[in-house]
Chains A and B, each alone.
Chain A
């Protein structure tokens, strides 16, 4: 796995109205996993979409270190495909007409020789324990297999930011824990900011270095996962 440039923080300040919820958040995500925790409908997925560029918020800024991805005031809006974001969705969203290997290679640098990319894609699939699926199409993958291929595909782009929107919600506890540990290791190795959306307390405690509690579009608490979650339980 290639290692990205170290220690680049992601600074987000976004205001956006979606339906009845007015999202208004400001935070900085340092390299490592920041857990975005909160109930359904609190604006977590919308916030990830705004950071990735899949959605343009009503106003705000998104910056990775000195690079401005979005600044609505000055009209800067870097397109999604230039942001180098690894986005893992709740559903694996694998391309059904491609094999697992082709899925993983889709986001790789086309200037790199094809054979090199093939070898790297195979290594990534092996890293996520799905090497045997390399030449098969996703139609008959199990939920866990598909999500592992999706993770291999997302990390194949050598991302500068990792965004994960409840990627393990369809998996059982054992698989969830195993994948969460693997994700934590990979993010630590890459040394990039990663935002992990979940509403599972266990997942939040196991994964996060830092936790943001999002309620009704606002960050109401921020800090160490164990501390925040303890207060949430107490309430």
Chain B
């Protein structure tokens, strides 16, 4: 498999798994907040986390550069602590993929949490559970299948991220060149035949993820 090896695919999976972990933790926390607490600016927060769903990838990438670039506060602090920048590194690729996955995880997790029998959390509260304990021991476990579906969709989304990853992490072979970027490079370089392996594998993983998510959602409705 010449210069277009399967390495970008492994890198994609590696980055997507890490991005899914990050987006899963943040996304479920945000979904829990949005579904349980009424506060000023709730709709604005929802729009902020779901923005990547509708923003052009290049615009999203630009915002990420502004937020995490070497001249940004976060970027500077990160570089001071780790000695490495976020931009043009695997960390940047994980971050870009995580931000892309967040809207799906937030939206679907919120729907799953809000579909839990509305008496269960009050019942837990009257049994002595704090809001956090009721969330962790009742609401999240009961919504687990829906949340798992959300995370699966988030994984599929982060696996195929292109624009934001290119803007924030670049296209560095062996470092940040994910399968999506490698396919783009191959097509640009008129090596279409060599991109086919990755196109087929990425499509397979994406459809398998969607199939699994649908199964989880359907089984969640049965319970």
Contact = CB atoms under 8 A, between A and B. Distances in A.
Interface of A: 52-54, 79-87, 89, 91, 93, 95-97, 106-107, 139, 153-154, 157
Contacts, number: 57
Contacts of B80: none
A95 B126 contact: no
Contacts of A85: 126
B138 A95 contact: yes
Contacts of B120: 93, 95
Interface residues of B, number: 18
A100 to B, nearest CB: 14
Nearest to B222: A139
B127 A107 contact: yes
B146 to A, nearest CB: 13
Nearest to B130: A81
B127 A96 contact: no
B160 to A, nearest CB: 33
B123 A93 contact: yes
Contacts of B137: 106
Q: What 5 pairs across the A-B complex have the smallest Cβ distances?
A: A107-B127, A93-B119, A87-B126, A93-B123, A80-B125
A153 B126 CA distance: 11
Nearest to B141: A97
B79 interface: no
B117 A81 contact: no
A89 B119 contact: yes
A89 B142 contact: no
B206 interface: no
A95 B124 CA distance: 9
A97 B142 contact: yes
B142 A95 contact: yes
A95 B144 CA distance: 13
A170 B138 CA distance: 24
Specify which of B120, B123, B137, B138 lies most central, judged by the most chain A CB atoms within 10 Å of its CB.
Answer: B123
Interface of B: 117, 119-120, 122-130, 137-138, 141-142, 144, 223
30 contacts: A52-B126, A54-B126, A79-B130, A80-B125, A81-B125, A81-B126, A81-B127, A81-B128, A83-B126, A84-B128, A86-B126, A87-B126, A89-B119, A89-B122, A89-B123, A91-B117, A93-B120, A93-B122, A93-B123, A95-B120, A95-B123, A95-B138, A96-B142, A97-B142, A97-B144, A106-B124, A106-B127, A106-B129, A107-B126, A154-B127
A97 B223 CA distance: 10
A91 B118 CA distance: 11
A153 B138 CA distance: 15
B128 A107 contact: yes
B9 to A, nearest CB: 37
Contacts of B119: 89, 91, 93
Nearest to A90: B119
B123 A87 contact: yes
Contacts of A96: 142, 223
Contact of B129 (A81, A86, A89, A91): A81
A79 B223 CA distance: 31
Nearest to B118: A93
B141 A54 contact: no
A85 to B, nearest CB: 5
